[in-house]
Structure 1
Amino acid sequence: MIDSINLSFDEMWDKIIACDEKYDGLFFTAVKTTKIFCRPSCRSRKPKRINVEFYHDIRKVENAGFRACKRCQPKVEHSPHTQLIRTVTSFLINEYKQNLTLQDIANHVGISPFHLERLFKQETDETPRTYLEKIRIDKASNLLINTDRTNLEICYDSGFQSPSNFYKVFRRFKNCSPSEYRNLHR
């Protein structure tokens, strides 16, 4: 069974609007009006927000009377390593505030760090470290737009251990500073 992830409705909504593949299999979008459920990365037309429910388990969404989307095929596993990658991504999403090493992540799933990094890169085209940084930047971006917390508070709330690393990584992914990002999106 897939580990549950700790995302708010707003965060999950943002992921489906962005068609974010990183969250495929970790939650499903069910549309009440059509009775269809999809992956977060589905490219189908987006439903109205009031018609959406989110489920973390495919059996629960099916038991609620929804059927799988024919376009994104959420019931189809794409790789023999899909479950392992879901477990890792779920762990990273839930533990993003922790100071995680590759060894910590590998210990969680019970394989060697080298093997984990190789499989993860093969399946997602990025390393677990990069994936974790993207999660942290997503959290920081959300906090910058939706709260009045200071950049330093957001740095630590997002799991970064130092402000300099936070600013460097934020600029790498968003091409601007956190303050510039906040001013652009408010």
Structure 2
Amino acid sequence: MTRKDVATDDGRWRAVIGNDTAADGRFIYAVRTTGIYCRPSCRSRPPRRGNVAYFDTPADAEAAGFRPCKRCRPAGGADPASGALVAACRVLEQAEREPALEELAGRVGLTPARLRRLFQARLGITPKGYAKALKARRLAQRLKAGAMVTEALYEAGYGAPSRAYEAVAQRLGMTPTVYAGGGQGESIRYAVVPCALGRLLVAVTERGLCAVALGAGDAEVAACLRARFPKAVLTEDRAGLAAMVRAVAARATVPRAGP
């Protein structure tokens, strides 16, 4: 959801009835019949539209005589949904084995469906996808530290290397052996474009995405890529990677204000 989406009463109402977590921090709504104000994502019973008033901040709602909801706590303190999401990410980051969705949801006090929606709304990925990304990152770190490929696969949390090898290659954009060797013999295309956080570099091989980097300038992010893959052939291809770069840049947004 964009800021324009909640600039009108119609957009705000859609966010309220949809319990849209992306709208939290952009406005709050109050219910005249109860005297309570809430976050857009509050899971309380949906109000009648005619009884709803919108405010930019909790202070504005309280000045109008409304009191904060005890369920979603819009006046301050941690956003319950954000707290649960952070807790779930920490569980996945620290787990020796990937927990099932039901187990993960139970540990953070949400239903599996609610947790999946929260991940997709806030991070654009499922809990399983987040866990896979963590394993790929751990593997890349161990390979760069000089670990043997089989050892690195086990340490990163993969099962039998023979079954994991091809799947891992898709995530790294090359085989683990080539990755550990600095991209020896690999051809990598890359593009650098402006984004909300600075300069964004996206690099790919024939297998897929192999690197994303953010920095203050083109030279900085290009140097990052060369340092990661010193033995690969690097070719700038902004036109050929335009669609992929747009997709990645869309996720690289400045974090919104608010809880």
TM-score (normalised: structure 1): 0.52
Could you tell me which residue of structure 2 aligns to residue 87 of structure 1? Answer: 87
For 2:88 and 2:145, locate their aligned partners in 1 and report how far apart those are by CA, in whole Å. 28
For 2:165 and 2:77, locate their aligned partners in 1 and report how far apart those are by CA, in whole Å. 37
The percent of aligned pairs where both chains have the same amino acid is 21
Could you tell me which residue of structure 2 aligns to residue 128 of structure 1? Answer: 127
Q: CA deviation at 1:82?
A: 1.5
Within a 5 Å distance, the mapping from 1:5-84 to structure 2 comes to 81-84=81-84
Q: CA deviation at 1:179?
A: 0.3
For 2:117 and 2:129, locate their aligned partners in 1 and report how far apart those are by CA, in whole Å. 13
- Given that residues 149 and 177 in structure 2 are in contact (C-alpha distance below 8 angstroms), is that contact kept between their aligned partners in structure 1? yes
Could you tell me which residue of structure 2 aligns to residue 172 of structure 1? Answer: 170
Structure 2: any 5+ residue segments left out of the alignment?
A: 1-75, 183-227, 231-259
- Given that residues 167 and 177 in structure 1 are in contact (C-alpha distance below 8 angstroms), is that contact kept between their aligned partners in structure 2? yes
When the two chains are superposed, the root-mean-square deviation of aligned CA atoms in Å is: 2.4
For 1:124 and 1:103, locate their aligned partners in 2 and report how far apart those are by CA, in whole Å. 19
- Given that residues 92 and 98 in structure 2 are in contact (C-alpha distance below 8 angstroms), is that contact kept between their aligned partners in structure 1? no
- Given that residues 133 and 169 in structure 1 are in contact (C-alpha distance below 8 angstroms), is that contact kept between their aligned partners in structure 2? no
The DSSP-based 3-state class of the residue aligned with 1:91 is helix
TM-score (normalised: structure 2): 0.38
Bigger Rg over Cα = 2
For 1:154 and 1:141, locate their aligned partners in 2 and report how far apart those are by CA, in whole Å. 8
Give the length in aligned residue pairs: 109
Q: CA deviation at 1:135?
A: 0.8
Could you tell me which residue of structure 1 aligns to residue 213 of structure 2? Answer: none
For 2:123 and 2:89, locate their aligned partners in 1 and report how far apart those are by CA, in whole Å. 10
**Greater helix share, 1 or 2?**
1
Q: CA deviation at 1:83?
A: 1.3
Deviation readout 1:28-85 (Å, 9 max, x if unpaired): xxxxxxxxxxxxxxxxxxxxxxxxxxxxxxxxxxxxxxxxxxxxxxxx9997622111
Within a 5 Å distance, the mapping from 1:150-165 to structure 2 comes to 150-165=148-163
| Bigger relative contact order (CA 8 A; separation at least 6) | 1
**Greater strand share, 1 or 2?**
2
Structure 1: any 5+ residue segments left out of the alignment?
A: 1-75
For 1:159 and 1:94, locate their aligned partners in 2 and report how far apart those are by CA, in whole Å. 11
For 2:100 and 2:167, locate their aligned partners in 1 and report how far apart those are by CA, in whole Å. 17
Deviation readout 1:101-133 (Å, 9 max, x if unpaired): 112211211222122111111111000111111
